[in-house]
Structure 1
Amino acid sequence: MQRCAGFLGQAWGKIILLLACCSGGWLNAQGTNESLRIQWGGAGPTSVVLVARDVLWHYRPGTNAPQSDWKTVADEQLTGGWTVGRGGFGFGDPGIAGENTTLNLANVSSTLYIRHTFKVTQPPDPAALVRLVVDYDDGFVAYLDGVEIARGNLTNGVGEAVLHTATTGGRSHEASCCNPPTHPPEVFTVGTAGQLMPVGDHVLAIIGVNQAINSSDMHLIAELRLEPATGIEVHGDFLSIVQTNVLKISGRQQGTATKWVVVNGDDAVGPGVPEDWQASVPLSAGVNRLNVQLLDEAGQVLADTNRLVIVRSNEIAVGGTLPSNTVWSEGSVVRLTNDVVIPPRGSLVIEPAVVVLVGNGVEVRGTNVAVTAQGTEGQPVLWLPADGSNTNWGGISLSGTNTILQWHHGEMLGGYVELRDGAHGVLEDVYLHDYYGSSPPIVQTVGTPNEVTIELRRCHVARYHELLLRLSHVIIEDCLLEYLDYSGDGIDFDGARPGSRIVRTTVRRGNIYNTDALDLGEYSPTEPSRGVLVADCLLHDFVDKGVSMGAYVEVTVSNCVIYNVESGISVKDSSLAAVYQTTVASADYGIRNYNKANTNAQTGGGSITSSWNNIFWDLNIGSVSLLNGSTLEAEYSNFQNTNWPGTGNVSVDPMFVDAARRNYRLATNSPLLAAGRDQKPMGAIYPVGGIPAAPQRLAAVPTVSGSVLLRWLDDADNEDAFEVQRSFDRQVWHTLGTSGADVAEFEDATPARNARIYYRVRAVNSSGNSPWSGVAGALILGAPALGDFRSLPDGGLAFAVEAPRGTQIVLEGSEDLKGWHPLMTTNAPGGLLELSDPEALLPPQRFYRVRLVR
């Protein structure tokens, strides 16, 4: 009897290959109950908390001096008013985290004594680091077994006695909450376990010191840790630092809809994700940017997060005074262990792809020096906290008339840039973020005794207090600034020099308290900001003013869009302004001029001496408020509900294209299209604003027709288009096409079959390009590629099938082409895989079919 194997649907035999596709559909991630909780790193050496901040401590106010041996004596031998309470300690700021014992010491004592006894039962790794973490207001000194290990913000030096009557001399140091400028908990590396932690009992003792006995608040929250020595993995709030080419991640999903965990477009877990999952992610040397997504059955993003991972294969440690001409070589990891000083007339060159890891409290400084950071778009220069978390590690401070700072393409997380006394700085394509300090703020210039010059182009600043630029010539072009802190200003000019300008820039999202988009003021009564131009800017979502002008300043505002603010433009205290071709909408006031220094005065308000082609509409209180002798000269402008005197002024509905979506262009039937001066339109003429924000949460969803539908969240205000790129290896990218402004989707109608495809998207406009989105991936299943088949020694058959990794191969058999039954299902490792049917001889004939599933 002849035995034959029929492969249904192929040209060389009767072989049918089933095509497996996934259905499409868009699911808003906010509509799911899925969340993403990830543990970065595997089970390596971990931190040990020796003294937790919330354990029971002995404490006493410093109304008098404690016994002389209070730092070392056993607990039962303490005398003189000690009480037991749970740490941390303090008063005055109920919003602070970690405070469990509240005691009001105002006008009682300026000091607080606390101590805790702990036991080391097993010899620790002698190389492990002993670290003290202190959240304090306003000062402290700490002792371990009677020996001083750390102090902060005190009036005397290391080793000197701190009396029970001590204060910080009036110097304030705010804790992590609640009065700006706040400071994160400070980390002090005080020694190694080999030096400080023998087996036995130990005493951690601390004196908290207030700035004055009548201070309204005080905090002392402390923790002592034992951490792995430098060189082991670091996993902080923002980034991980490792020494291997694989990162282990694990997580717990909170819902049931997750089908895959995907990292940079590749399946890390799935199909099917257990409640507790883990995966290994391959890494490259240097900088790795990970985009981790939870996907549902249809490929929609349920939750996502991103991670910066640094593989430090060639790290060098740097601290102290550098050689006169220093180069940090391309691709190296530089760890700053303490302050770095560039000698006078010296230079520091930072080549592309350098990663600078900075320790707590470290500053890079120099006078009359040259610093050049030569990043590129693909190889930026990064400044990052060495612990992966610190958002106030220090910064770069340069001064001198012969100083030049040039930084192209880079990122700084948790630090500041400061220029003083004649220095010149140029920052282009730099991302500064997650630094809330106010003294100094994230970017600061102080042009005394010599004027500073600073130029910012295509820079992105996010999650910060303010830019404070004083006595300086300032050029800010094509930038994006967003997410302002409590009582900061997006850009604050004090005494800006003539010719300073802010053009084609977006400033947005300052909704906390007392925050302006632009605050253009004076350094002193005789040094106001003068000759300043604000043009083609987009300013929105501020609790205070769009453009605020202080005392005696002179500013021109031209072709700007300002919305969702308290006042669009405010001119105060004898300042002069000109306003042209500007749209103010969705505000309390369009213009609000007054005397801030003396609100009861009859004079001293602000004046707009020239204005035309403006629109003030959708205002809650009024178009114009003029107090304290303030004035406004206007023509050819549209004032809501106001017949303002002047040639060509009107009060009509401007008929915006879509005010609800913040599109304040004039519609084609607007009565203002030719109502302006010289028959020009009233209001701003687009484009306005700076570089666009990056698209978020990119999803690549296979459709039933075999295409891939890309969808993302549009976080930009002013993109001209979105550029879509495709790759098969994440190394070589090709532009696939574009979608228009506000069109947050794109269809790839010609994806390859049975191959992983990667996608990324960025927003583009005339100012520049956003960063690329995170990478998304898709796998469109087609007919599996079949190789040869052969007979097995026992009479069975084996077939070679080629299928991509991340799929399953299903082999089915039938004796009559009607009743099909499964023979085997197996995971495809990628490439060729041999399938076998050991029972091929049992029926007189058997037909086979193969399909791929995910």
Structure 2
Amino acid sequence: MVDMHAGVILFVRLLPLLLLLTGGADQELLGPAAPGLSAGPSAVDANAPGLRLLVRDSYLPHVPVLVRLEITRPDGRVDRDIWDANAVLSVVGNPSIRLSTDRVDLYNGLGSALVTVTGSGDFTLQARVNGLEKTATLADWSKRPVRTASGILRQSQTWSGAYQIKGGDFTIPAGLTLTLEPGTLVLIDGVASGTNGIDIDVQGSIQSLGTASSPVTFTASAAGRNWGELRFTKARPSVFRYTEITRAGRSPTVGHSNSGPAFRVSGSALTFEQASLTDHAGKIMQATSGSELVFTGTLFARAIMGPEIMGTSLLFENSWITDMRSRDDADGIYVHTQLAGQTCTFIGSVIAGVDDDGVDTLGSDMLIEDSIIRGCKDKAVSVFGGKTTIRRCLVVGNNLAPEDTTVASIVAKSQEGRTTIVDIDHMTLVTTRMPGIIDTGLQSHNKYGVKTGTIVFNVTNSIVDATQPVSVQSPYRITDIHINYCNVVGTPWLGIGNLSADPQFVDAVHHDYRLRAGSPCLGRAAPESPWRDLGYYQSASD
């Protein structure tokens, strides 16, 4: 027989919890909030940072797994103000599991590591950084079947589970679509060296539809090897959502770095959403011939260089480029001239830790906005022809390994008899001020010995902190450098509303370039500017 009295008591005791879970509680019903807790549907601190862990929900022993970490702000965006951080990885619940590395280095709130798992059985991966912790469970797929794919796709297919491409290049013909469900693992046979890795030749379409908890993965099937490239030629639009593409680049060399790309794109449209392209033997991508590229929330890391694009439209938004390492041409991104009507936009993004230029342009019209470029061994931005607009950017600590004793953070060059334009607004530029090095902020550079040409800098509402703020080489003219409403630190500069004062950063030594209360840069922007302070950070909003 049911005890109705006990049931009523249980219901009364659970009622506040039920109302909290359904959002139907109000303060009068629940009474005063307990000490230390806010009234309402949640006691979680709405202003607390978070940690996002993106990793496969399965693994194969000895096949590296990409671990991606993001420290997030309360609004869910990556916290780019966390300059450098080191996360620690550990295994919970399975003592037989070993990880090839227990460290993930984060740049401005985001980082990744390629981790090889040895041992067997399911396990929980734990990541900890800056007092934050996140876990994910990975299932052992070693006893699951791995299907084989080779040759030519004969009809549109949907893949799930594990597939291995072997026996030569794999082709997706025009009119066909390969759809990859969440968690799909695509293994491609690789080579130890050379340029003849297996390619995936796409004339149709790939729809790679991973999720945050179950990404899709393309990677080499064996340790110590890399596959070739994903090659798109006049293909139908393709999507890579929550997709990891690793260990490619054993493909024919092309372009600026003389290395093979992981993606070779011609006349095709590709969209990447929360994707990761990392750990390649060559460059990330070569795109040409009217291609269209969209990257949102995407990571490029640990390759020879980032994308090189020409005749290609680009939207690179809320994305990261890190750890491009090579002896030469290890640029973060290299943008050539676009076709008529195409645009190139780099916004809300980060470039950090590359061995050459952060952004290198050749004849393009490009917008770089709300972005951080730092830790480049050569220039932050190199402009050769065309027009580049740099708006609301933080450009600091570049030229870490200069090729000569005079270096510059932002350099413009022109072709013979041509004009190059660089428009800069609300930028904070701080050079390294290395002993024995003349750190230059902005430079009109005659690299190729031209006899005629024009380089124009239009700089407003910015902070330029450099040993030598401006350098102009002949035949270019100092009168084409227009600086107004700026703080040119330590150097009085003719123009409207300029300062030459200490900007009073909060803590530049530890990379906090916000302005302290009382900074002379507060409220000194041009009257027409929507942002009142000089430089990148705005006291009222950032």
So what's the TM-score if we normalise by structure 2?
0.66
Kept in 1: contact 2:61–2:120 (CA 8 A): no
- Residue 380 of structure 2: SS of its match in structure 1? strand
Q: State which of 634, 639, 653 in structure 1 corresponds to 2:502.
A: 653
Q: State the one-letter code of the partner of 2:200.
A: V
Kept in 1: contact 2:503–2:521 (CA 8 A): yes
CA distance in 1, matches of 2:333, 2:263: 15
Task: Show the counterpart of 1:364.
Answer: 200
Kept in 1: contact 2:245–2:276 (CA 8 A): yes
CA distance in 1, matches of 2:412, 2:127: 48
- Residue 498 of structure 2: SS of its match in structure 1? coil
Residue 576 (structure 1) aligned with residue 403 (structure 2): no
Task: Show the counterpart of 1:235.
Answer: 62
Task: Show the counterpart of 1:832.
Answer: none
Residue 503 (structure 1) aligned with residue 347 (structure 2): yes
- Pairing 1:49-64 to 2, within 5 Å after superposition: none
Q: State which of 444, 465, 473 in structure 2 corresponds to 1:593.
A: 444
CA distance in 1, matches of 2:368, 2:159: 38
CA distance in 2, matches of 1:571, 1:280: 50
Residue 454 (structure 1) aligned with residue 293 (structure 2): yes
**Deviation of 1:337 (Å):** 4.0
So what's the TM-score if we normalise by structure 1?
0.43
Change (3 A) 1:308 1:388: farther
**Deviation of 1:407 (Å):** 0.7
Task: Show the counterpart of 2:523.
Answer: 674
**Deviation of 1:546 (Å):** 0.8
**Deviation of 1:342 (Å):** 0.9
Kept in 2: contact 1:408–1:427 (CA 8 A): yes
Task: Show the counterpart of 2:193.
Answer: none
Residue 320 (structure 1) aligned with residue 157 (structure 2): no
**Deviation of 1:606 (Å):** 2.3
Task: Show the counterpart of 1:491.
Answer: 333
CA distance in 2, matches of 1:477, 1:289: 32
**Deviation of 1:492 (Å):** 0.7
Q: State the one-letter code of the partner of 1:424.
A: A
Q: State which of 505, 510, 519 in structure 1 corresponds to 2:360.
A: 519
Task: Show the counterpart of 1:603.
Answer: 452
Q: Which runs of 5+ in 1 are unaligned?
A: 1-232, 241-261, 270-278, 294-299, 301-305, 522-527, 688-719, 721-854
- Residue 182 of structure 2: SS of its match in structure 1? coil
Kept in 1: contact 2:92–2:124 (CA 8 A): no
Residue 529 (structure 1) aligned with residue 364 (structure 2): yes
CA distance in 1, matches of 2:298, 2:487: 34
Kept in 2: contact 1:675–1:681 (CA 8 A): yes
Task: Show the counterpart of 1:21.
Answer: none
Kept in 2: contact 1:364–1:395 (CA 8 A): yes
**Deviation of 1:427 (Å):** 0.7
How many residues get paired? 385
CA distance in 2, matches of 1:469, 1:312: 42
CA distance in 2, matches of 1:280, 1:424: 38
Pick the structure with more strand per residue.
1
Task: Show the counterpart of 2:258.
Answer: none
Cα RMSD after superposing both structures? 2.8
**Deviation of 1:419 (Å):** 4.6
CA distance in 2, matches of 1:457, 1:500: 14
Q: State the one-letter code of the partner of 1:359.
A: D
- Pairing 1:605-754 to 2, within 5 Å after superposition: 606-608=455-457, 610-617=458-465, 619=466, 621-628=467-474, 629-630=476-477, 631-678=480-527, 680-685=532-537
Change (3 A) 1:518 1:280: closer
CA distance in 1, matches of 2:538, 2:309: 28
CA distance in 2, matches of 1:509, 1:560: 17
CA distance in 1, matches of 2:526, 2:286: 40
**Deviation of 1:555 (Å):** 1.1
Kept in 1: contact 2:208–2:216 (CA 8 A): yes
**Deviation of 1:375 (Å):** 0.5
- Structure number with greater Rg is 1
Change (3 A) 1:623 1:362: same
Higher deviation after alignment, 673-682 or 535-544: 673-682
Task: Show the counterpart of 1:209.
Answer: none
Kept in 2: contact 1:409–1:428 (CA 8 A): yes
**Deviation of 1:464 (Å):** 1.0
Kept in 2: contact 1:324–1:345 (CA 8 A): no
**Deviation of 1:267 (Å):** 6.8
- Pairing 1:274-313 to 2, within 5 Å after superposition: 283-284=121-122, 290=125, 310-311=141-142, 313=144
- Residue 668 of structure 1: SS of its match in structure 2? coil
Q: State which of 368, 384, 387 in structure 1 corresponds to 2:219.
A: 384
Kept in 1: contact 2:184–2:215 (CA 8 A): yes
**Deviation of 1:569 (Å):** 1.4
Kept in 2: contact 1:622–1:640 (CA 8 A): no
Residue 548 (structure 1) aligned with residue 392 (structure 2): no
Kept in 2: contact 1:409–1:429 (CA 8 A): yes
Q: State the one-letter code of the partner of 1:614.
A: S
CA distance in 2, matches of 1:436, 1:472: 23
Q: State the one-letter code of the partner of 1:442.
A: I
Kept in 2: contact 1:436–1:485 (CA 8 A): no
Q: State which of 393, 396, 414 in structure 2 corresponds to 1:563.
A: 396
Q: State the one-letter code of the partner of 1:606.
A: I
- Residue 235 of structure 1: SS of its match in structure 2? coil
Residue 473 (structure 1) aligned with residue 352 (structure 2): no
Change (3 A) 1:627 1:403: same
Cα deviation, 1:595-621, whole Å, max 9, x if unaligned, reads 2221xx45335221x22001011x2x3
Q: State the one-letter code of the partner of 2:298.
A: C
CA distance in 2, matches of 1:506, 1:614: 19
- Pairing 1:735-774 to 2, within 5 Å after superposition: none
**Deviation of 1:586 (Å):** 2.5
Task: Show the counterpart of 1:849.
Answer: none
Change (3 A) 1:651 1:603: farther
Kept in 2: contact 1:290–1:309 (CA 8 A): no
**Deviation of 1:311 (Å):** 2.9
**Deviation of 1:668 (Å):** 1.5
Q: State the one-letter code of the partner of 2:409.
A: G
Task: Show the counterpart of 2:173.
Answer: 343
Kept in 2: contact 1:349–1:372 (CA 8 A): yes
Q: Which runs of 5+ in 2 are unaligned?
A: 1-59, 67-88, 97-116, 132-136, 191-196, 249-260, 400-407, 433-438
**Deviation of 1:334 (Å):** 3.8
Structure 1 runs (4+) deviating above 2 angstroms are: 233-236, 262-269, 279-284, 288-293, 306-312, 331-338, 416-421, 496-499, 601-606
CA distance in 2, matches of 1:453, 1:577: 24
Q: State the one-letter code of the partner of 1:380.
A: P
